[in-house]
Structure 1
Amino acid sequence: MTENTMSHPLHRFVPILDWGRRYDRNALSNDLIASVIVTIMLIPQSLAYALLAGLPPEAGIYASIAPIILYAIFGTSRALAVGPVAVVSLLTASTIGQVAEQGTAGYAVAALTLAFLSGAFLVLLGVLRLGFLANFLSHPVIAGFITASGILIAASQLKHILGVSAHGHTLPEMLLSIAQHLNEINWITVVIGVLAAGFLFWVRGNLKPLLNKLGTGPLLTDLLAKGGPVFAVVATTLAVWGLNLGEEGVRIVGDVPQSLPPLTLPGLSSDLIGALLLPAILISIIGFVESVSVAQTFAARKRQRIDPDQELIGLGAANLGAAFTGGFPVTGGFSRSVVNFDAGAETPAAGIFTAVGLAAAAVALTPLVYFLPKATLAATIIVAVLALVDFSILRKTWAYSRADFIAVAATILLTLGLGVEVGVASGVAISVLLHLYKTSRPHVAEVGLVPGTQHFRNIHRHEVETVPELVTLRVDESLYFVNARFLEDLIQRRVTTGCEVRDVVLMFSAVNEVDYSALESLEAINSRLKDMRVGLHLSEVKGPVMDRLQRSHLIEVLNGEIFLSQYDAWQKFGAPIEVARSRQA
């Protein structure tokens, strides 16, 4: 969706009707080129993320076909590429691993059900236009969770690099399990995994600059640079096949069905839904936050905009598509979206072409990955997720806000120590508690008049005029049940510290809301000040706030006046006193 308003109401809910009308040959050319590059990258990545989710490798390809098409129809981002991503795949494995055993039919059904519940929840939020709920997850907490998840994902793949059997959902469990099975290490697998990881790290940082120096064309450079995982897959698969390394204990992918995504049905038993409902909601929120952040970033670069509520519907439709075509929960991925954007994708049609390419691969190319070593897929995952690990967020939040630092550190430690479900839940809880903590202690500044002006500033930061008989408090936060008592206590302390105060003015220029609990607190403040023979006045009250106050009992019993501006209050209560005192002097 562009910055222009859509001409037909249906276009808002089905954005393809909008951009599809203006689709031209130039957009087709750019979208086709982008789809080729993205398809090359997604084939090994999709297989790898299915492995991470504990599902057969073909599930990764299936989860990248119908969801992409459905998002292209209902989504609003021109560059977002939807499909399996590392964090959501880890959450999927952690969640369904508690209700079914990996490798069983029940495990696959649970994955379908998780995608169905996630999709239904996202669509419901979109229809009700509740996208703002994702704002309850603060960015520092999200950064901490993703960093911890990156570490967990990398640790979970070490068993495939070493060729050992291991288990666990937390970092201590994984490391302990790997340590207990070190005697099972397959050194051929280790060599394959280490070489593949080293090659992929080298490709990520060095191949593109090298190709540019050699004068390779931009398109070929992009294809070769993004195709690094494909080279690793081809080389290691040929090595395993040619040297018959499967007989030496190297674990391979094996048979992958040669077919288009099947029609599947999620399990709808009450027990299964009850076990997966809360994790599905948490996965939906995490996936939506990641996806909408990526979409907004790319939209801003092209002066386009996205509709967060419609994004909920687009992502929900993608997950519902995954549920009915053999997939698992999906969302908009950062790495694939970057590739899609950099490759020049003009419209979501690039995603549709990518889906066609993946469908062709599912039909024609799956026999070629029979000898693909799982160590190579594990190396692909490790290289991809280590880019998510960012411990600098700890240093940045420590320097800027101790409360945010505590939230980030707690999220990282809880995720690593207790698992991703606890990490997600604690991230949501910490975000909400952090918001409540900050707003429970609103900034209230005592202000005075800046000499020669009609402006009022904090008496502790500026040279201002004040008089002992008048106290002016600027409330810099909306007032509601969490912080209402704080204002009561602050005023009580201020007016009892001396006996000269005759009037208190609450400057409401920054107050956007006063809920009923805060209204009762204002009435209590008014009553106490009245008993002390101190006037309570309001100034610079915003229109919507004033509309509500006028419907209340407070205006009738207010022990003072309401002023349009703080300067008006000063002229009545501050300036005359100051003039009288100067004359007496």
Structure 2
Amino acid sequence: MLKNYFPIFHWLPNYKKAYLTNDIVAGLTVGIMLIPQGMAYAMIAGLPPVFGLYAALVPQVIYALMGTSRQLAVGPVAMDSLLVASGLTALSLSGIEEYISMAIFLSLFMGVIQLSLGLLRAGFLVNFLSKPVISGFTSGAAIIIGLSQLKHVLGVDIPRNNKVHQLLFNVIEKFKEINIYTVTIATIAILIILLIKKLNKRYRINIPGALLVVLFGILTVYGLELYHSDVKIIGVVPDGLPAFKIPNISLHTVAELTPIAITLALVAFMEAISVAKAVQEKQNEYEVYANQELIALGTSNIIGSLFQSYPTTGGFSRTAVNEQAGAKTGISSMVSAVIVGSTLLFFTSLFHYLPNAVLGAIIMVAVFGLIDFKYPVELLKKRKDEFVLLLVTFLITISVGITQGIILGILFSLLLMVYRVSKPHIAVIARIEGTNYYNNINRFHSSVAIRKDVLGIRIDAQLFFGNTTFFKKALLKEIKLKGKHLKLLIINTEAISYIDNTAANMLYKMIQELKQKNIKVMFSGTTGPTRDILFKSGIIDILGKENLFLRSHEAEDFYDGKHNRTEKFRSIAEQTESIAS
């Protein structure tokens, strides 16, 4: 039981000495990467940079103990940081202290939600975050994050806003106040990061570009004394490990934070599980389990909040670096935590002269890489309805708000799904000449033998209250087209595994009405679960067990008197739960 919740007890007893070097190297690499990244992402969240280091400390240790992925790097990420800022700036807060308290409480709140979903085995909920919605939301959020850093890159005081048009308007208003030193530092930092990324990709190395531009920024500002020229710097970074503190918040605040906490919980889980599964596909030693991931991430956020961490999850870039650096187990995350902890204990004073422009540059390069151009173009060519869904989500995200973008995107994707299942594909089928195969007459019109007295219908969906009326109308339309010649209706039910009460009542009445018109009804290809429903709902009483067939051609041949049903085939076609028991 303990191993189920703490997968470390699965892999630690079998830990190989050969793994240790890889884990240490990967842990050092990610730890060094985490320091500037964590501080930068804290700025996105509207928090002092040191809280990025707090968020990079405890959560990844807890995840190393409880997570099923052995390479996932947990810590602060750009998307969640933006969601924190978006949710908290919408509230009326008295000052930075209350803002910090709320951000930390959000970590606790979303952790409780994730843990609860994991214990309830609700990992399937992430399936409702469709790829078009996530792509539109991610691209929109990336643009907002990038533009929000213009105040640091340009060195001007631009009011925070999560609407792109308003952000750009605010930038234009402040354009004359741009600090040329700040812009120069940011531009050079961006070019250095891009150059190092290109070198890393070409030569398959892991030069810590973010750390190098941090050193460049500190040395430039300190050496040229640019802090006297209004170049904004981080200033004093508190040293020491985060203290244990229980978040204190009112019930009224809980109600206000509920929507953003739920959004954070789901989006953070989606980020983590997608990258964890992507990395796991390259491994043969373990499996990633969605529900345990929820439990691990939830617990990481809960315990992390007790040590002043704001919301965290698995990061795309850091996980990729961790895997490429050779990480084999969660030991690499523990090494990363040691690097971050050592920085907090001994090296925070080194960051005093770090310019905000460098952190802004790091963020801009990181998040603009999240903007996906290929996928929308692909959807535009192949699936225009999903392209519209992506575009709507993107536009809402950049023009209305971050939270509204993801929530309305999910809502629209569910509405699209409901629309599709309410109008399922229904085909008129007939036998292909010279064979026993039945196919759609519209696709195989030149090779099917269409009979005036026989109508074959296939519905490629479940039958439930949402599509019952559509199915009935389509069926009656085809029956009417056949006219008085129709004597046999064959309903192919191979694609149906469930019939709800509304649909069952419709079928019962329809079969009854057709029998009164001397039209015989037969079912073919009926699966076990569907047969069970036919028997339990009483449909079989009016249909007749003798009218269940394995294949459509058997039904037609039996009607024509060409096929004698053996006891074996009859028992298979009529098999139900009750008979089996």
Work out the CA distance in 2 between the residues paired with 1:319 and 1:431.
Answer: 29
Give the percent of matched residue pairs that are identical in Structure 1 and Structure 2. Answer: 34
Q: Distance in 2 between matches of 1:65 and 1:550?
A: 59
Q: Tell me, in whole angstroms, the C-alpha distance in 2 between the residues paired with 1:285 and 1:572.
A: 54
Question: Which residue, 480, 490, 499 being the options, matches 1:496?
Answer: 480
Query: 2:549 aligned with 1:549, yes or no?
Result: no
Alignment partner of 1:572 is 2:558:
yes
Tell me which of 27, 33, 50 is aligned to 1:35. Answer: 27
- Gaps of at least 5 residues in structure 2 are 564-581
1:144 counterpart = 2:136:
yes
- Residue 379 (structure 1) shift: 0.4
Q: Give CA deviations for 1:44-89 in whole Å, capped at 9, x if unaligned.
A: 0000000010001111111111110111111100111111111111
SS in 2 for 1:497: helix
- 2:168 counterpart of 1:168: no
Whole-angstrom distance in 2 between the partners of 1:558 and 1:575: 19
Question: What is residue 296 of structure 1 aligned with on the other side?
Answer: 277
Residue equivalent to 2:53: 61
Aligned partners of 1:13 and 1:529: how far apart in 2? Answer: 57
Query: How big is each residue's C-alpha offset from its partner over 1:472-528, in whole Å with a ceiling of 9 and x where there is no partner?
Result: 112211122222221111101111123122222211111122222222232243244
Q: Post-superposition shift, 1:199?
A: 1.4
Letter in 2 for 1:261: P
Q: Which residue of 2 aligns with 1:81?
A: 73
Greater displacement, 518-527 / 307-316: 518-527
* Aligned AA (1:282): T
Is 1:179 aligned to residue 163 of structure 2? no
Q: Residue 471 of structure 1 aligns to a residue in which SS? A: strand
| Counterpart residue number, 1:582 | none
**Is residue 329 from structure 1 mapped to residue 311 from structure 2 by the alignment?**
yes
- The structural deviation recorded for 1:267 is 3.2
Q: Any conservation in 2 of the 1:100–1:110 contact (CA below 8 Å)?
A: no
Q: 1 CA distance for matches of 2:174 and 2:341?
A: 39
Deviation sequence 1:273-297 (CA, Å, 0-9, x none): 1011111111111111111111111
Cα distance, 1:368–1:450 mapped onto 2, change above 3 Å: same
Secondary structure of 1:87's counterpart equals helix
Hey, what does 1:215 align to over in structure 2?
none
- Secondary structure at the aligned position of 1:505 is classed as strand
Distance apart, 1:373 and its partner CA: 0.5
Bigger CA drift: 292-301 or 177-186?
177-186
Instruction: State the Cα distance separating 1:173 from its structure 2 match.
Output: 1.4
CA contact (8 A) 2:102 2:249 kept: no
Task: Letter of the 1:168 partner, please give it.
Answer: N
Aligned-residue CA RMSD (Å): 1.7
Q: Which residue of 2 aligns with 1:320?
A: 302
Match of 2:521? 536
Q: Give the equivalent residue in structure 2 for 1:482.
A: 466
Q: Deviations over 1:346-394 (max 9, x none)?
A: 0112111111111111111111001100110000000001110012222
Q: Distance in 1 between matches of 2:125 and 2:226?
A: 51
- Mapping of 1:201-350 within 5 angstroms? 201-206=194-199, 209=202, 212=203, 221-222=205-206, 225=207, 227-303=208-284, 304-350=286-332
Deviation digits for residues 75-116 of structure 1 (CA, Å, limit 9, x no counterpart): 100111111111111001000112254951110111111111
Q: Which moved more, 1:369-378 or 1:521-530?
A: 521-530
Give the one of 77, 83, 89 matched to 1:91.
83
| Corresponding residue to 1:20 among 12, 30, 34 | 12
Contact 1:144/1:393 (CA < 8 Å) preserved in 2? no
Report the Cα distance in structure 1 between the residues aligned to 2:34 and 2:81, rounded to whole angstroms.
Answer: 15
Q: Which amino acid aligns with 1:319?
A: N
Stretch of structure 1 that moved more, 246-255 or 464-473: 464-473
> Is 2:421 aligned against 1:439?
yes
Question: Which deviates the most, 295-304 or 126-135?
Answer: 295-304
- In the superposition, relative to structure 1, how do residues 539 and 374 fare at CA in structure 2: closer, same or farther (>3 Å)? same
Q: Is the 8 A contact 1:514 1:545 kept in 2?
A: yes
Q: Give the letter for the 1:410 counterpart.
A: V
Given the alignment, which residue of 77, 99, 121 partners 1:129?
121
**2:568: which partner in 1?**
none
Aligned to 2:504: 519
Q: Which residue of 2 aligns with 1:3?
A: none
> Match of 1:116?
108
Q: Which amino acid aligns with 2:503?
A: A
For 2:267 and 2:379, the matched residues in 1 are separated by: 21
Q: How many residues align?
A: 557
Residue 583 (structure 1) aligns with: none
Query: CA separation in 2, counterparts of 1:175 and 1:102?
Result: 27
How does the TM-score come out when normalised to structure 1? Answer: 0.92
User: 2-side partners of 1:17 and 1:476: how far apart?
Assistant: 46
**Higher mean C-alpha displacement, 124-133 vs 445-454:** 445-454
